[in-house]
Structure 1
Amino acid sequence: MDERDACALVAIARKDGAATREVLAETIRGLECLAHRSGSIDGEGDGAGVLTDIPRELWADALAAARLDPSRVLDRAFAVAHLFVPPHDDELVQAEVRRILARHRIRILLERHGTTRRAALGPRAQAGEPRFWQLALQVLGPARRAGRRLYRVGAEVEQATSATIISLSRSTAVYKLRGHPQQLSAYFTDLADPRFRTSMAFGHDRFATNTTTSFERVQPFAAFAHNGEINTIARLREEAASLGLALSRDGSDSQDVDATLRALVLGRGLDPIEALELLFPPIVNEVRRMDPQGQDAFTRARAAFGPFAQGPAAFVARVGDLCLVGVDAMGLRPLWHVETDEAHVFASERGFIPLERYSTDPRPLAPGEHAGLERTARGWRYLDEPNLRARFVALRAKRGCAPPDDRRRLEAGGPAVASEAAAKPPGRRIELSVMPDEIEDLAIRREQQFAALGYEPEDLKQAAFMEETGNEPIGSLGYDGPLAALATKRANLADYLQETVAVVTNPAIDREREIEHFSTRVVIGPRPSIDGSGKPRPWLELRVPLLLGGHAPESAIALDDLRPLARAAGTWLVEDLVAELGGRGRRAAVVLEADRDWEEDPRDALTRLANAATHAVRGGTRVVLVRDRGIRAEGRAWIDPLLVIAAAHRALIAQPAPNGSLRRECALLLSSGSLRNLHDVVVALGLGADAVNPYLLFEHALATGDPDALPNLLEALRKGIEKVCSTLGMHEVRGYGRAFSAIGLTPDVAAILGVRTFGASTFVGTGWDALARDGFERATMLR
């Protein structure tokens, strides 16, 4: 049996920094030796490529042949662009690219065409072969801004044309194709030219899983290559959008990580070490073991960006004279460091380097370990992880991004007593201060809420089990009831959503044995700046995205009795959190009631609520609270709070702000009685809620009279969130995004949620009219 998976990764750098043919040859040979890790269909590979130094000797001769000064290749203003251009409109695209370059004051010194051999490709690759276009460029103006200007040109080219930027740099060039590694030199005449020399190269041989193979999606990209899967790519894309970072057009997960890395370094001016640690931060428990300065720097860095590139991956990245390598936090994709007398080698497997060349014992990078190579006047110098982290801390401190005592946020938990700004409902215990007939009225009222908000007997049975044991009940794998679109019973929006698992080479993580890596920690409130700009911004962290409190005054639940539990669990009461971040006055929290006038179209109501959120946050509000307690009034109709959360979240991302977008300026919280179970909670988090308050579910626990019921329920939900993450190859809930799809929702409803839908169309499925009728019926039941 020919078993293939996981992609191949090879990086080689000469210690003396000398540019040679051997570096390229050995990199390609290494990829050939690791062909068992790559994909192949009918003898055609999924894709292979290399990133190298700019071959300056080759370009010098090309300039000389064109009667241009060959010494320009040594100038700091010299750059090389490699582009793929669709063959059907190459002339129009090339004309537009030339206009963009001229507008940015970048001069084209020389254009090269026809430097490929079509016959070297297989039939599938030939069918999708783009034009390979090479440009020698001179960046006019200050050299210190050249990298940023080239980056902006590349982003504009991909936005305005159908061309794909393969590489656009003053230091590196990328060559890649749909095929096997051994075809690289046969296809690209540059690579076969004896004048092609490089001091460092890294290569990738692809095994395509989630995306179809094409020239554009082959790795390496302009700065980055990895083998594995970014399971949190939905959340990474949202985070990039909230920062205003340009991503690739129809990019794969790897392409968008590459685009994010380059945007942080070349667009925002971060050092490559900073950008790498922001993209692939250490786990919380590792931060706890650092010295105080490291804790301060990484605590703020994790809040400024976060663990949004989770999943099995070994990676190599190069920007300028820094090459950085690493392994995912779980260590699910190996990367070996092999040292010889002449070179440093990083590779998925070490066997292609003969044993007699080893100068030290080969060593696999540990889970979450990062290392690097830096080109100096003496050659490529190895940087171990302590060196990288020390430089990261120094860089962040210089930016003002590592103030002392940020590490105190590692210890999460709300106040022991209510603040003056917090609302203070009656501090009464039900069993002491409520008359028997009032207790009966409360029980009847709660049953009405259960019925109106979609609770089924199974939901209450599961809740009772969790309240008793602190664990989820063990049952069948997955949901085995009728689909919501076909069921006769009342269905909440979450019932139409099912978990989506897209990857075949990506196993679930063993939560029981890898528990140190798992985290349900979330960041609440204004996010700190990634580059230290702007005023200091307060934020809070919760160990679990579940808020206590949120009960109506008539429930007679004493909030003071809940604060010790919230503090012990590392969370807050929703009332205390709103008071802490929102306070009173002009910047008080904005409350979005998930209801509408019965004559108002649900779409208009969602637009109104989303606009209210963006207007309030632009005015300085730091908390947006969505809740469903206002639907008892006559003439009001219920809106599923998940729709409101999704609409507000996406509207806030779309509105620019000094720190990126309005979404980074606030906390988005959900307090809802319709959160019936773990699935509902996780869907709300995936749709954009920072934390949720399932107050009716918590009231069910309090009504038992068992002092352990609510702590057990809270613990069972926390474990459940970790298990959901583990099934998708994630270990931190902050990376969880829209990892679900709809069945039976019309496309316009699914579009508000930002998910794909199946089994429905514009005319078939649950749409706005059905949701409007359902919302009015539920409101009637609650009155």
Structure 2
Amino acid sequence: MDMNQQMRKTEKEWQGLYSPQFEHDNCGIGAVVNIRGQKNHGIVEKALKIVENLEHRAGKDAEGKTGDGVGILLQISHNFFSEVCEKSGITLGAEREYAVGMFFFPQNELKRNQAKKMFEIIVEKEGMDFLGWRKVPTRPEVLGQKARDCMPHILQAFIGKPADVEKGLEFDRKLYIVRRIFEQSNDNTYVSSLSSRTIVYKGMFLVGQLRTFFGDLQNLNYESAIAVVHSRFSTNTNPSWERAHPNRLIVHNGEINTIRGNADKMLAREETLSSSRLESDLYRVLPVVDTQGSDSAMLDNTLEFLMMSGLELPLAVMAAIPEPWANNDTISQEIRDFYQYYATMMEPWDGPAAIVFSDGDVMGAVLDRNGLRPSRYYVTKEDELILASEVGALSVPEEKVVQKERLYPGKILLVDTVRGRVFSDDEVKSYYASKQPYGEWLDSNLIHLKDLKIPNQPVPEYSDEERTRLQKAFGYSFEEYRTSIRDMALNGTESTSAMGVDTPLAVLSDKHQPLFHYFKQLFAQVTNPPIDAIREKIVTSTTVYVGRDGNLLEENGENCRVLKIENPILTNTDLLKIKNISAKGFQVAVIPITYYKSTPLERAIDHVYVEVERAYKKGTSILILSDRGVDENHVAIPSLLAVSAVHQYLVRTKKRTSVSIILESGEPREVHHFATLLGYGASAVNPYLAQETIHELIETMIGKDYYAAVDDYNHAVLSGIVKIASKMGISTIQSYQGSKMFEAVGISEEVVCRYFTGTVSRVGG
């Protein structure tokens, strides 16, 4: 029985505890590459067989005739396109002297012609020759009805390379600018690929329909040394022709759990980016990320932008998806310094993911830091590397196999078809880690909070009467006072509780509830496993970086001039040190988030925006939002509302990566409170009233040193946040920060849209 028959048999039969429905757990990925770069049709054929054998990893509709999406990324075959274009009256130059674009146009003829004309004008205005259009041979009759109903009109465009532009990446950079200008001037056409090196064929197919739909793939003259395939099982978005993989550089099996925060920060980062490669063209390719795309499409947008801006593709992948380096003693100091340098500028794109990437010259693969997605590969005697999301996706005789291996957590694999060799994880990382003196840059510029001197100033303290008044003002309950704060300060751990939340909804309560309680934590589910943060401590990191982010596109020492904080729950002394920091490149501003109680809350928030803008213009890099000063005339803006409102304001105005937010508040005291504050944009939190309450408890209920009790309380809070993040499959606090991994219940749609943008809210208030 061959493999396809075995798979069909498996789908129909139940075997013991096995159920066929378990097969539909995530996407399937595969790649075939000739290591020496020798093109042949066999590479294309083998890749198509892989994706056809991954049918159990592809989603389909209830009718079973329309798939979630299948596609293939190939090198541009010069022999093939020279032949077919000659028949169409299109004259091409030599290999890589022209580019091919794959377009999904609307079926409406008028709109299609308008879009085509617009593209031709843009190409010519950018100094390139438009050579012509080719209608891609297709067979719509093999598709299901749903796929046919939304099928685009598929055309290929051909563009000649200007004589003064080098082949390869430089030509592709010009094409990238053309595509971005076209995408921003047209909203009814999707460009699958536009490159002189690669082309993408994809659509809403079942796995067997990719080959039969596109006539080009069946032509024996279509030759490639690289072929990357993907079968999609939609988990986060609805299927569509555009959302099928491959994207322009990557195929992706998994989920980016921190995508909301990653996308927000990437958009905000645009203000601080500058590139010698794009120079005056940079503004024309912004925004970097299309937030309407899937999580993998947004990652692809980011990697493509970084590559076009001058970062080599493997380097961009390593910066976005780093291995767990902070607690890993097995890596060299050079590699650790490399990751530390890039961590000061960009948070990890975190979540279970196996990613294959290619720019037409190299093909690589990387696995997430937890290794939660399988990726295995063979190297054969025919100098081919065959990679897939599982063993057996392609039948290879044992006598032809030279090496069998798998990708390990956080590791990278790279095949360079130009040099004709495979590079191991250690070779790739050592190469990039040794290109710059990252260690020297960090020693000269990175500042550690623990190394800052304590200023000769008193830490603010409250009398018993003032403390009691503030506890009432911030809604402290006896239960929180007696159990939550006391237990964490006494034992250094959060009280044990069930994973589920069965407490009544805050919106239904007769009593005043803190805003935190209107937000429910999201949990990993289906294909997205939670992490055991205790046993897998090596992959977790609690470090955050405060200050102005450096320019990600240009490597220099000043980029890492930030403040490193190991625990984002700050003591009063920690905050005092930050307020008085005098190091070059740091400027701190304290913004009050209190207001006269007769003032409308909306106006008070608008006033905070004004103060934030004023501080930014003065060069502030650290904003401290403080609610100290609550009295009989002044009340505090709810701290979560203040943090999220300022965070979203800075994202909208593209200032977020120029300014860090630290909260000084008497309101947070439970782990969930801190988790929401970090999840909505705070870099660190100083719970001054909770720590004052510990001072009071020392005298009555806790028989230990005050500073030890505060450290234990902070440690308990941090451990609780790590546990919450790990339930969502997130490993680092840096990635969790701003990720908005909550659902709002009982808050009006207007408030959510304005101040908690992007938050799931099924039930308003």
TM range (shorter): 0.7 to 0.9
- Compared CA separation, residues 451 and 210, structure 1 to 2 (3 A): same
2:744 corresponds, among 735, 742, 745, to 742
SS of the aligned residue for 1:629 comes to coil
Cα deviation, residue 504, structure 1 = 1.9
Residue aligned with 1:363, SS = strand
Q: Which residue among 41, 50, 53 is the counterpart of 1:30?
A: 50
Please list, as runs of the form range in 1=range in 2, the aligned pairs for 1:341-490 lying within 5 A after superposition. 341-342=381-382, 343-351=384-392, 352-376=394-418, 380-395=420-435, 397=436, 402-404=438-440, 406=442, 412-415=448-451, 417-419=453-455, 423-425=457-459, 442-460=463-481, 461-490=483-512
- For 2:229 and 2:531, locate their aligned partners in 1 and report how far apart those are by CA, in whole Å: 28
SS where residue 158 of structure 2 aligns? Answer: strand
1:17 to 37, 57, 68: 37
Check the 8 A contact 1:53/1:171 in 2, yes or no.
yes
Residue by residue, what CA displacement relative to the aligned partner does 1:533-562 show, whole Å, maximum 9, x if unpaired?
67825212111111110xxxxxxxxx5xxx
> Partner residue of 2:171?
146
Aligned to 1:545: 568
User: Any unmatched runs of 5+ in structure 1?
Assistant: 431-440, 550-558, 560-572, 656-660, 766-783
Q: Distance in 1 between matches of 2:399 and 2:691?
A: 64
After superposing on structure 2, the runs of 4+ consecutive aligned residues of structure 1 that deviate more than 6 Å are 407-411
% identical equivalent positions: 26
Matched, 1:670 2:663: yes
Distance 1:465 1:126 in 2: 62
Task: Give the one of 695, 698, 703 matched to 2:688.
Answer: 695
1:240 equivalent in structure 2: 266
Could you say which residue in structure 2 is the equivalent of 1:641? Answer: 639
- Number of the residue aligned with 1:223: 249
Contact 1:227 1:333 in 2 (8 A): yes
Report the 3-state secondary structure (helix = DSSP H, G, I; strand = E; otherwise coil) of the residue aligned with 1:16.
Answer: coil
Query: Is the 1:521–1:733 Cα contact (8 Å) retained in structure 2?
Result: yes
- 2:199 pairs with 1:173: yes
- Report the Cα offset of residue 405 of structure 1: 5.8
**Matching residue of 1:712:** 712
Residue 598 to residue 99, structure 1, CA distance change in 2 (3 Å): farther
2:636 corresponds to 1:610: no
- For 1:410 and 1:368, locate their aligned partners in 2 and report how far apart those are by CA, in whole Å: 25
Label 1:286 to 1:369 Cα distance change in 2 as closer, same or farther (>3 A): farther
Structure 1 position 332, deviation (Å): 0.6
Change (3 A) 1:511 1:286: closer
**TM-score scaled by structure 1?**
0.86
Contact between 1:261 and 1:276, CA under 8 Å: does it hold in 2? yes
Aligned to 2:757: 754
Residue equivalent to 2:152: 130
C-alpha displacement at 1:760, in angstroms?
5.3
Q: CA deviation at 1:388?
A: 0.8
Does residue 163 of structure 1 match 2:163? no
User: In structure 2, what residue type is equivalent to 1:591?
Assistant: V
Residues 607 and 647 in structure 1, CA contact (< 8 A), matched pair in contact too: no
State the secondary structure of the residue aligned to 1:246: coil
Root-mean-square deviation over aligned CA pairs: 2.4
User: Are the structure 2 counterparts of residues 47 and 353 from structure 1 closer, same or farther at C-alpha, using a change threshold of 3 Å?
Assistant: same
Which residue in the other structure is 1:334 paired with? 374
Q: Secondary structure at the match of 2:364?
A: strand
The alpha carbon displacement at 1:154 in A equals 2.1
- C-alpha deviations, 1:5-25, integer Å up to 9, x for none? 221111111133221111111
SS in structure 2 opposite 1:45? coil
Distance 1:759 1:117, change over 3 A: closer
Per-residue deviation at 1:756?
3.5
SS in structure 2 at match of 1:345: strand
Q: Given the two structures, how large is their TM-score scaled by the length of structure 2?
A: 0.88
Q: Secondary structure at the match of 1:284?
A: coil
Instruction: Give the deviation of 1:648 after TM superposition.
Output: 1.9
Partner amino acid, structure 1, of 2:685: V
Distance 1:756 1:688, change over 3 A: closer
The reply to whether residue 201 of structure 1 matches residue 227 of structure 2 is yes
The 5 Å alignment of 1:279-318 reads 279-285=320-326, 289-307=330-348, 309-318=349-358
Aligned to 2:7: none
Letter in 1 for 2:87: A
Distance 1:670 1:32 in 2: 53
Q: CA shift at 1:183, angstroms?
A: 0.8
Taking the aligned partners of 1:493 and 1:412, their CA distance within structure 2 comes to 33
Q: Is the 8 A contact 1:645 1:689 kept in 2?
A: yes
Q: Which residue of 2 aligns with 1:433?
A: none
| TM-fit CA distance, 1:665 | 2.3
Question: Kindly tell me: are residues 755 and 61 of structure 1, through their superposed partners in 2, closer, same or farther at Cα, counting changes over 3 Å?
Answer: closer
Structure 2 residue aligned with 1:513? 535
Q: Could you tell me how far apart the structure 2 residues matched to 1:5 and 1:640 are?
A: 41
1:764-779 matches, cutoff 5 A: 765=765
- May I ask how many residue pairs the two structures share in their alignment? 707
Distance 1:138 1:48, change over 3 A: same
Amino acid at match of 1:715: H
Q: Given the superposition, is the C-alpha separation of residues 502 and 124 from structure 1 closer, same or farther in structure 2, using an over 3 Å criterion?
A: farther
AA partner of residue 33 (structure 2): A
Please, which of 68, 75, 80 is the counterpart of residue 58 of structure 1? Answer: 80
How far apart are the structure 2 equivalents of 1:283 and 1:515?
A: 10
| Partner SS, residue 243 of structure 1 | helix
Could you report, residue by residue, the CA deviation over 1:344-394 in whole angstroms, capped at 9, with x for unpaired residues? Answer: 1111112123242543341111111101011216xx421111111122124
Aligned with residue 312 of structure 2, among 271, 276, 296: 271
AA aligned opposite 1:228: G
Shift of 1:286: 5.7
